[in-house]
Amino acid sequence: MILAIETSCDDTCAAVLGGEGEIRSNVISSQAELHDRYGGVVPEVASRQHLSLINAVIDESLSEASVSLDEVTLIAATEGPGLIGALLVGISTAKSLAAARELPFVAVDHMLGHVAANFLINDLVEPPFLCLIASGGHTLIAAVEDYSRYEVLGQTLDDAAGEAFDKGARMLGLPYPGGAELDRLATAGDPERFDFPISMSGSDSLDFSYSGLKTSLVYKIKDMAPEEVRRCRADLAASYQDAICAQLIDKCKKAIEQTGYEKLAVGGGVAANSVLRRQMHDLAEELGIRLAVPPTELCTDNAAMIASAARYLDEVPYPEYLDFDAFAKQ
- Interface positions with Zn ion (CB under 5 A): 135, 301
How near is the Cβ of 252 to Zn ion at its closest, in Å? 19
Please choose, out of 200-208, 221-229, 246-254, 268-276, the segment that lies near ligand KG4 by the rule CB under 6 A.
268-276
- Cis peptide preceding 177, ω within 30 of 0: yes
From first CA to last CA, the distance across the chain in angstroms is: 29
159 makes contact with ligand KG4 (CB under 6 A): no
Q: What angle do CA 297, 302, 307 make, to 5 degrees?
A: 120
Show the site string, 168-187: x = touches ligand KG4 by CB under 6 A, - = not. ---------xxxx--x----
How near is the Cβ of 278 to ligand KG4 at its closest, in Å? 12
26 makes contact with ligand KG4 (CB under 6 A): no
Residue nearest to Zn ion (CB): 135
Of 265, 326, 255, 250, which Cα lies nearest the Cα of 299? 265
Distance CA 98, CA 5 (A): 12
How near is the Cβ of 12 to ligand KG4 at its closest, in Å? 13
How near is the Cβ of 99 to ligand KG4 at its closest, in Å? 27
How near is the Cβ of 72 to ligand KG4 at its closest, in Å? 25
165 makes contact with ligand KG4 (CB under 6 A): yes
Show the site string, 290-319: x = touches ligand KG4 by CB under 6 A, - = not. ----------xx------------------
Taking the alpha carbons of 316, 319, 320, 321 in that order, is the dihedral positive or negative?
positive
How near is the Cβ of 145 to ligand KG4 at its closest, in Å? 23
Distance CA 5, CA 3 (A): 7
Q: What is the dihedral of CA 311, 115, 187, 210, to 10 degrees?
A: 150
* Alpha helices by DSSP H, 27-131: 32-36, 43-65, 84-100, 110-116
Residue closer to ligand KG4 (CB basis): 147 or 165: 165
61 makes contact with ligand KG4 (CB under 6 A): no
The 10 Å Cβ neighbour count of residue 148 is: 17
CB 143 within 8 A of CB 252: no
Tell me which residues in 122-151 interact with ligand KG4 (CB under 6 A): 135-137
CB 77 within 8 A of CB 107: yes
How near is the Cβ of 261 to ligand KG4 at its closest, in Å? 22
210 makes contact with ligand KG4 (CB under 6 A): no
Determine how β-strand 11-17 pairs with β-strand 23-30: antiparallel
The binder of ligand KG4 chosen from 154, 168, 268, 294 (CB under 6 A) = 268
Q: Which residues lie near ligand KG4 (CB under 6 A)?
A: 9, 135-137, 162, 165-166, 177-180, 183, 268-270, 272-273, 300-301
